[in-house]
Amino acid sequence: DLILPDDLHTQVIHIPALLQSGTVSALVMRGMGGTGRRTVIGALAKEVGQSVLLVESITDDNRRLIGPLASLTNSLPILRLNPNPGETVDVPPLAGYQGVVGVTAGRSGGLRGESLGHALTLTLPPPDPVARSRFWAASSTPIDPDDSGTIVRRFLTTGGIIHRAAGLATTYARLD
C-alpha cells in the first residue's frame, strides 16, 4: 500500500486506466530523492501487468538496448533523470518500445523529448508528520511510542530514508 497524501492517492488510483487507454505517453514523477517516485511508478506498472526496467543513466551504449529489452520483458522503463536548476535534459525516444515511459526527476530542471508529448506529471511532496508516522509503523523496527513521536516531529525524513534508517537501527540493535 502506497503512503501518499490523500489528494495524491486519489489521483494515483486513476492512473492505471490512463496507462492502459494509451492516452499517456510518459509518466513523470518529480520530487526530492527518497519520496517514492520509483515506488509509485513501479506500483502502477504492476497494476497494469508490467514489471519495471530501471535505467540509472542513459549512454550511447545502452540507449539502443533499453527499448527492445523493455519490450521483450514486458517492462515499463523508468529513466532516472536529474536536471539541475535552469538545465533541460532530453528524454530520448526508445527505439523498439511502444509503451509508456516512466521518468523520475527532482523538483527543478526541465525535460523535453518526443516521448513527453502526452506526459502526465505528478510531484510527490516530502512526507508530512502523519506520513512519516506511517512509514515508521510500516518498518519492522520496534520503536518506543514516545521516541517515535519525537523522531517524527523533529526530523523531516522521506520514506526512503526511514526505510534505510529502520533497517540500520535493527542491525545495530542486534549487535547489543
pLDDT digits (tens, 9 = 90+) for 115-135: 999 999 999 998 888 888 888
pLDDT bucket at 137, cuts 50 / 70 / 90: confident
Q: Rounded to whole angstroms, how far apart are CA atoms 2 and 171?
A: 25
Q: Rounded to whole angstroms, how far apart are CA atoms 73 and 93?
A: 18
Of 11, 46, 45, 8, which is closest to residue 26 (Cα–Cα)? 45
Q: How many CB atoms lie within 10 A of CB 137?
A: 11
Cβ atoms of residues 101 and 94 within 8 Å: yes
pLDDT bucket at 104, cuts 50 / 70 / 90: very high
User: Assign residue 20 a region: left if phi > 0, alpha if psi is -120 to 50, beta otherwise?
Assistant: alpha
Give the side-chain half-sphere CA count within 13 A for 149. Answer: 2
Of 110, 95, 98, 100, which is closest to residue 58 (Cα–Cα)? 95
Q: Rounded to whole angstroms, how far apart are CA atoms 87 and 84?
A: 5
Give the cell for residue 120: 502526465
Q: Rounded to whole angstroms, how far apart are CA atoms 44 and 2?
A: 10
Q: Is residue 43 scored above 90 in pLDDT?
A: yes
Residue given cell 540500520 in the structure block: 168
Orientation of helix 129-138 relative to helix 145-154, angle to 10°? 130
What is the reported pLDDT for 128?
Answer: 87
Residue given cell 512519516 in the structure block: 132
Query: What is this structure's pTM?
Result: 0.85
